[in-house]
Chains A and B, each alone.
Chain A
């Protein structure tokens, strides 16, 4: 069933829960990996994913289909993740701990990370980017989304996204050249 049919089903009286469960079933996995690449930890990703769908449930009756359902869900997930990262950074600042070191340690200690050394160094390099730049880089490099789609999700101009990706790319390239 495509997104349009799911939305039509959602608007039928008494079928909201059923339709929404189908939406969750269809999109949860892809959204999970998008969030996971932003925040790294499985537990945090799980919380953010659940919040994303709870927010979507509240806002779906007002969804006017100006964008695709998946883009809309992606936007909610990205915003939730960016808010989470901002809070984490602020929390570590207030507790006077080194945020970048904390993120690095998180990846080292993650029992759900199964990559080799190159992938580990690559992930660590991505974690040095600012949250928004990280989101741009992930969506472009991993998910291979078009700049227009990223622009719709992040509400940023295509030009600014290209510049952001270029800077992120150069920074990661430099880190990898030194570390691999």
Chain B
């Protein structure tokens, strides 16, 4: 075992720098021909497709982005008009504050319908209840005991 071998020592360096590899006979001539053939083949390929390919790629990219955005907006709508499906699979259409459940061709009103319509009637119409109307309502719907109790409170 030699322990003082130095790869930077001139004699060692010269020996180590010698090329230990070989190539098949005539390799460099043949590789030049191969490269030249490949390049000629590539040059000939520059036709309609070579020009059209990148442009078609760009068009497909735009189409993909559009479809992607379209799908996303359909799944996660941002405005108040959207459609969804309930557990039974029937379609539900919600349009603004008017909610209509369309089930097997029938329209159904729900509490939400009533709630929104009540709000609408209170906020959009400015009806005043007259004193006579109030008395009529109380006399029809409130019993005597309650009325006597109100008298005592006054």
Contacts of A141 in B (CB 8 A): 7, 13, 16-17
Q: Indicate if the CB atoms of B32 and A49 lie closer than 8 Å.
A: no
Contact A142/B42 with A21-B32, A177-B5 known, Cβ cut-off 8 Å = no
Q: Indicate if the CB atoms of A50 and B38 lie closer than 8 Å.
A: yes
A112 to B22, CA, bound (A): 5
A137 to B19, CA, bound (A): 15
**Is B21 close to A, CB under 8 A?**
yes
Query: Could you count the A-B residue pairs with CB atoms below 8 Å apart for me: how many are there?
Result: 87
Q: Indicate if the CB atoms of B17 and A142 lie closer than 8 Å.
A: yes
Contact A176/B5 with A29-B28, A112-B21, A112-B22 known, Cβ cut-off 8 Å = yes
Contacts of A50 in B (CB 8 A): 31, 34-35, 38
Instruction: Please pick, from B1, B35, B43, the residue contacting A24 in the complex, using a CB distance under 8 A.
Output: B35
Chain A interface, number of residues (Cβ within 8 angstroms): 38
Contacts A28-B32, A110-B21 aside, 10 further interface pairs with beta carbons under 8 A come to: A17-B36, A114-B20, A116-B20, A118-B15, A119-B20, A120-B20, A141-B13, A142-B17, A172-B7, A180-B2
Contacts of A120 in B (CB 8 A): 20
A104 shortest CB reach to chain B, Å: 15
Contact A118/B38 with A29-B28, A169-B7, A180-B5 known, Cβ cut-off 8 Å = no
**Is B39 close to A, CB under 8 A?**
yes
**Residue positions of B touching A, CB distance < 8 A:** 1-3, 5-8, 13, 15-24, 27-28, 31-32, 34-36, 38-40, 42-43
**Is A99 close to B, CB under 8 A?**
no
Q: Chain A interface mostly helix, strand, loop or mixed?
A: helix
A26 shortest CB reach to chain B, Å: 10
5 shortest interchain CB distances as A-B pairs:
A115-B20, A119-B20, A112-B22, A53-B35, A180-B5
A110 to B7, CA, bound (A): 24
A178 to B1, CA, bound (A): 7
Contacts of B36 in A (CB 8 A): 17, 21, 24
Bitwise interface map of A from 88 to 115 toward B, beta carbon under 8 Å scored 1, else 0: 0000000000000000000000101111
Contacts of B5 in A (CB 8 A): 173, 176-177, 180
A136 to B19, CA, bound (A): 18
A123 to B8, CA, bound (A): 15
